[in-house]
Amino acid sequence: MSRGKIPKSVTNNNSQEGETELRRGPWTLEEDNLLIQYIASNGEGRWNFLAKSAGLKRTGKSCRLRWLNYLKPDIRRGNFTPQEQLLILELHSNMGNRWSKIAQHLPGRTDNEIKNYWRTRVQKQARHLKVDSSSKTFLDAIRQFWIPRLKESVEQNSSLASISNSSCSSSVSTMETRKTNDPSPVLTNDVPLHDSPCPNPMSPEVLRFSCGNSLEGDSYDGSIHGFCMQELDAQNVSVSGCHVVDFDWFREDLGESFWCNDELWQFKNMA
DNA sequence: AAAGTTGGCAACCGCGAGTCA
DNA sequence: GTGACTCGCGGTTGCCAACTT
């Protein structure tokens, strides 16, 4: 197979005059800059035309993917917060592998990123449990054990936050105003988070979507079971305290230990 | 320290849907 | 109606850094 990150080029057979070499593989800084500058002055759309006009030896498809998944200014990077993870689990349990739909509920996150999260983190749990990640058993286990555990964590963190920080009222009013007045996705965080040592555990955009934004034509009902506004508001104010340690609990190293003995026992009974 | 293994993620592919001449 | 073209989505691949042996 010739995919992957090795820079290489292929012949564009569609080219009428002569043979144009099309680049594949990882993007260079120069290519990124070309794409960013072109879109900044001309906007998105007509990707094949854009690729040629920008002087990129890439397919339109490749340009679109690079822009949407990496270069777009409002892309958020870094670890998924517990709230985002909870959203993903909830949404996936309703929608299945409809990554782009799920991504619409997590502003700044791409379908590719969410898909990768699911494959690397969630499916890993399934492997540990020796079940198929798409099996009803595993999906039930997520609903019964994993999601409640995440909610518990969110609640615990929010109560800790409300003890240590009493300035949440302004945040609440801001959030509620946005929730009630504007159903469309609005990004307020223009700064990419790649360099942030402490990703915002409850960014406004995530909060908004958590609280009932329902996209047109989407089967998801917009209300995430029991994931209420109050919990999230309290979470939001914990940002200033930079709870890196608090949120590390859910990272990779929890692995097998994520499922406690009781839950494993129950799970085995289910299986 | 070196070799082997694993996990994360960027990028590619195929396919279906939409649009337009 | 239909064929060409574009776009967007979901699935898959493979590189490479981190980790383990």
Backbone angles phi, psi at A133, to 5 degrees: -70, -20
User: How far apart (Å, rounded) are the C-alpha atoms in residues A29 and A41?
Assistant: 18
Q: Which residues of A194-223 are buried (b: 16+ CB within 10 A; e: fewer)?
A: eeeeebbbbbbbbbbbbbebeeeebebeee
Considering only CA atoms, which of A182, A228, A189 is closest in space to residue A205? Answer: A189
pLDDT digits (tens, 9 = 90+) for A49-58: 888 888 888 8
Closest nt to residue A49, judged CA to C1':
C6
Percent of chain A with pLDDT over 70: 49
| Cβ of A112 less than 7 A from strand B | yes
| Cβ of A37 less than 7 A from strand B | no
Single-letter residue type at A141: A
Angle in degrees, 0-180, between the axes of helices A82-95 and A147-164, rounded to the nearest 10: 150
**Bases on strand B under 7 Å from any protein CB:** 7-14
Spatial distance from the CA of A62 to the C1' of C7 (Å): 12
Average pLDDT of span A216-241: 31
pLDDT digits (tens, 9 = 90+) for A82-91: 888 888 888 8
Please answer whether residues A11 and A21 qualify as being in contact, where contact means their C-beta atoms are separated by less than 8 angstroms: yes
pLDDT digits (tens, 9 = 90+) for A102-154: 888 888 888 888 888 888 888 777 777 777 776 777 777 777 777 777 777 77
| Cβ of A13 less than 7 A from strand B | no
Please answer whether residues A138 and A129 qualify as being in contact, where contact means their C-beta atoms are separated by less than 8 angstroms: yes
Arithmetic mean of pLDDT over chain A: 60
Single-letter residue type at A236: N
- Per the structure, the residue whose CA is closest to nucleotide B9 at C1' is A116
Question: What is the domain partition of chain A in residue ranges?
Answer: 22-71, 82-270
- CATH code 1.10.10.60 for A22-71: yes
User: How far apart (Å, rounded) are the C-alpha atoms in residues A117 and A26?
Assistant: 21
| Cβ of A60 less than 7 A from strand B | no
Q: Is the pLDDT of residue A232 over 60?
A: no
pLDDT at A227: 32
pLDDT digits (tens, 9 = 90+) for A161-194: 665 544 333 332 222 223 222 322 222 233 333 3
pLDDT at A270: 58
